[in-house]
Chain A
Amino acid sequence: MKKVNILIMITIVLLIGVISIPVVAADKLPVVIGLQGPITGAYAIEGEMAKQCVEIAASLINEKGGILDGRMIEIRVVDDACQPKAGALAAMKLISQKDVVAAIQTYGSSVTQPGADLYEKFKKINMAYGAGIVELTRKGYKYFFRMCSSVDKQGNFFANKVVPLFNAKKIAIMHDNQSFSAGLAEYTKIGLQSKIDAGEVEIVYYDAINPGESDFAVPLTKLRETNPDIIYFTGYFPEAALVVRQARNIGITCPFIGGDSAINSEFIKIAGLEMAKGCFMTQEPMPSELSYSKSKMFLEAYQAKYGEIPSSPWAVYAGDSLNVIAYAIDETGSTDSDVLVDYLKNKMNNFNGVTGPIGFDERGDRTGTLHTLYVVNDKGELEIYNP
């Protein structure tokens, strides 16, 4: 009899599940685009901001009368809590809704991965706005696009531009063992290899700290003993801020350069202005620096609604992903994935989005993103560094 109980319970529970699923709108008029992001969990802030950006972008398009002569754009948000399992479910949730024509993918590489596999299987365009690890676009996905740039580009930028700029001989690289930052550190090393072989530079320190922790005195003391010319921290802002503070406290004075996730308004808040100012970061154009016609409009709209401009570049990429997809649909006049893929990869070049001209190469990587070196100025703002 045990089985009976089991089965009854399961069906009851599943029925509850069925009931609770939001009903798919019968009205097919709007073009539905999915957004998968961490609405809850540790990176909830990124998800929240991405949501806001995408909504702004959509509303801007809709105000102009939508796409495909008069069809509005509708956003459907699913939460993946920044966990792979939840990511797979979230992706499934979008895929199973037949009217979702394309998905804007999530923040964090290990979450993007299972999603990308699923979208690929079900032939849905999916565009990642916050997944830096290189492998994603090396697996021959057809329907996967990456709006943000992959870490190797940034690594090379650091190796070829930043290092000479400071004419540094001894370089310390510190990451935090998370997909993105470990990857960036790895590719920076690769980028530096030629110089190392030539004996121009050496990596005197290469180690990881544990994310979520607060005390980095030990690794930093080790680092201090190697007295490097520059420190490159590839991790995220919460740790970055503490690393800077504690590094300065134990008397490390050499320039601190952060990866593109290391420095933002939060960083300055945590590190405190006195410590934060003079810190550098390798970054794709920050929202505040975006000076393209479209970005102005976008940022004004955002500010008008939320009182501040988004502090994270990823969020803006999410918004831009929507722009690109909408544009492609409008141009091709079709919502068929294959048509769109063909258009995005082969026909479209330099669509001017919020984050500048956008195009995609065969692998789905965005072309033409330029990294720049930013510095925190005395007012605690990020400005492009020009010595």
Chain B
Amino acid sequence: MAKEKNVEIKNNNIDISIGKEEKTVLHAENLTKIFGGLTAVNKINMKVKQGQISSLIGPNGAGKTTVFNVVTGIYKADGGRVLFKGEDLAGNKPHQIIKKGIARTFQNIRLFSNMTCLENVMAGQHCRSQQGTWSAVLQTAGYKHEESVIRKNAENRLKQVGLWRFRDELAKNIAYGNQRMLEIGRALASNPDLLILDEPSSGLNDKESEDLIIFLNSLLKENLTILLIEHDMNVVMGISHWVTVMDEGKKIAEGLPEAVYSDPQVIEAYLGKEDEEEEY
């Protein structure tokens, strides 16, 4: 299984002309999530197009992360539904959803701190392997082969995110920026079709965020679709093909970056917020 994926990736070096591809990968319909009294996400509609980088932006507490958590099955939607490649994701557990091809990262990095970087990435392929207890105990040929494949993929991914030199370091011991990359590497290890990144550039310095932008663009060549939550306007404008803006749980605008950027509502809700922040 994992092997085939691998091959597929290798052959997939055709450059997709950005924006042409119109096939919808992820489709959220009237997505609603309520915590106790407050409606964190209110009837959100959004589409994520194949082979594009879409962004979900908005001020703190707009409910961006909640959308992600509903999509990836950590929270259960209170209304509406999420379609992935036309299939309703309702009732799927997170570990089933990643198997379907949606991998994610977390806002506050969640790595397996006391495991080595390589192990972290290897763990990322769990859903792409199926050897059981007995074959592991008896070290069957099938098991050895799968393990070697996992190992090879892990190496490739680790090289891809540029952390090969840290392969035997414990995840908790590497620098913050590297931890972010490692988390992305772990997500990529499951060979996803849709990669969901929760504020990947937060806590990175300019250099690092630039590298990140380049890296994300390079991922598109793997026929990946990327959905990211972002604060940093520059990052968003730099790479997004499609931007959705949320505020207080509602969608207030969506469109091409430029359009959104000049949208008065967005400026009011989003940039206005930033002014306030500056005052304090």
* Complex A–B touching at CB under 8 A: no
